[in-house]
Amino acid sequence: MSAPLQVRTTLESAAGQAKRRAANYLAGLQQRDGHWCAELTADTTLESDYILFQLWLHPPTDGKWTPASRPLIDKAVRSILDRQLPDGGFNIYVEGPSEVSASVKAYFALKLAGVAMDDPQMVLLRNRILELGGIQAANSYVKVNLSLFDLYPRQYCPSIPPEVVLLPLNFLYQMSAWTRAIVVSLSIVHAANPRRPVPAGFNLDEIWLPGVSPAFHKDARWLTWHNIFLTTDWLLKWWERSGLKSVRRKAVRKASQWMIERMQHSDGLGAIYPPMMYSIMALDALGYAPDDPLRAQALRQFDKLMVDDGERFFFQPCFSPVWDTAIGAYALAQCDPKDPALRPAADWLLAHEVRRKADWSVKRPDTEPSGWAFFYNNEHYPDIDDTAMVMLALSDTSGSNSAAQKACHKRGLDWLLAMQSGDGGWAAFDADNNWEFLNKVPFADHNAMLDPTCPDITGRVLEALAAHGVESSHRAVRRGVDWLVRNQQSDGSWYGRWGVAYIYGTCFALRGLAASGESDREAHILCAGEWLRSIQNADGGWGESCASYDNGTFTAAESTPSQTAWAILGLIAGGDPNSLSVQHGIEYLLETQRPDGSWDEELATGTGFPKVFYLNYHLYKDYFPLLALSSFGKARANS
């Protein structure tokens, strides 16, 4: 039932004022050249890995470790300890429980940095690691990293062979883009078996849980993909000892060439922290001198991820300028299509279109290059999600050169259409990246081996296609709609791969369906709206924990501005702008907005790797509420 007219008018007026404050705040963050780029933060594992990396870069002399970066290591130590939980461990998202891999990384880093073993924080941490299963319970990447320094037996680490680049059927390209970059660079390091030194007497013996074998555990059933890959791993270890050295040399050469090619036209390999770090290690293993231009540039690019402003010290996993600019420009355009911030934003986005064939073209060789990457510069990895978001922004925003923009629109549309997977959905970087059995390889426990089609990206692509005039009867649109309907959860929600979690997926699935002409009277739309209303918090907002990924179902958390905005956007897209649920959601945004037009948000609402790595996008809290307020005003005016 609609709210009374007076209540509606008052709420709409207040929402309009809040919208203008939010727009002014967001516009004030725009850089001079037209783009936005907020900080992107994660957990303590990046600072822990930084300390490990310093040991690689500055090995001990005469058994003593005196790295040149000692002041930065001390800052990293403080940054890590500031986030220790009361039980002694470290989590991977705010308000999450202690997680064993993050805790083991922190323990290694703190002990290496010189924190005393009997320090109360170290005692707590050590006890918590043992409660969580000891070092043996950490994931494969932790063990591989430690094995580089002989701190974890290599025979109990998964093999990462460079021969993967020689396999047929484009095997390498059946892995996700980010895994591909990590595996190739790390395989070069793995092949060198460097066994770098540690300070005299340094070990991690005290966090081994007694009585627990470090060996891989086999499935009870004999014939499973997991057991097949364990047998393969045993064969690979035999190959490393006894195989043809000429094949290994060929593989290392090809892997090195592959890696170095992708370090060009990019701000580091993959432009993200893990492969950037491993690429420097790989160059060292290949014999590149520290002052070699390629190696020196790789280290400079890695160091740019560091934030050290005198008060804070942490590493960003990457930079997000295209993503932030696209969403920021779109939100401002929905608020006021004449906003002066829009033209420079459009020009900046148009200048960052990717015009180079890269990994994606292995499966789409006849498609003209286009698309946008998440980063400032990474021409090898444009992604579908960013491209769809940029296309949405450009649909309502005009740059300085209309002819060039029109041509860009056509290329972007053609690229999006070509990147549709065979099942009808869209993934992040590649099409048809769905060899499910690869999730069973021993080093796949980072939960990111594949890049499957997902509701959030599929919905956003459908929205972008509609914004550029692609008819709802178009075959690609119908296939995308069918994919979303088939992949709805039984409770009415959709899984969100790149945002936390089911609220995110449901929001963008509903927006994609609405843009594609799906009736809001369809059962799947009504069911989704009912689900969103059923999970609303008592304060009027919505919140969801990263634990949803672990539990495989929605898990409530305190309300956040971004998740509240997603729920409101989803309900409006589902034909429900007038319910009390939407009214209370808008009231939550109004009550929590700061005087400067911004919002506060502490919880992670962005997803890197589900169950493994989460992200705080520090503009999510601002541009999504702005978009929700704008959508609310338009929907009320039309209802």
Q: Active-site residue numbers?
A: 385
Cα gap 345→602, rounded to integer Å:
28
Spatial CA neighbour of 426 closest among 380, 394, 391: 391
SS3 61: strand
Question: Which residue is listed with tokens 């509606």?
Answer: 8
CB 130 within 8 A of CB 149: no
SS3 372: strand
Structure tokens at 493: 């929600």
Cα gap 427→249, rounded to integer Å:
34
CB 131 within 8 A of CB 206: no
Helix axes 245-263, 273-285, angle to 10 degrees: 130
**Max intra-chain CA distance, the chain:** 82
Cα gap 405→345, rounded to integer Å:
13
- The full 3-state SS of 552-611, as one line of letters, equals CCCCECCCCHHHHHHHHHHHHHCCCCCCHHHHHHHHHHHHHCCCCCCCCCCCCCEEEECC
Residues near 446 by beta carbon (within 8 Å), at least 6 away in sequence: 139, 140, 141, 179, 609, 612, 613
Structure tokens at 243: 């195989």
Cα gap 5→171, rounded to integer Å:
61
**What are the phi and psi torsion angles at 456 (to 5°)?**
-65, -45
> Residue 634 is which amino acid?
K
DSSP secondary structure string for all residues of 218-271: PPSSSS-HHHHHHHHHHHHHHHHHHS-HHHHHHHHHHHHHHHHHHHTTBTSGGG
CB 134 within 8 A of CB 209: yes
For 317, counting Cβ atoms within 10 Å of its Cβ (0-12 exposed, 13-18 middle, 19+ buried), the class is buried
H-helix or E-strand containing 203?
none
Q: What count of Cα atoms within 13 Å lies in the side-chain half-sphere of residue 372?
A: 31
CB 504 within 8 A of CB 563: yes
β-pairing, 613-617 with 606-609?
A: antiparallel
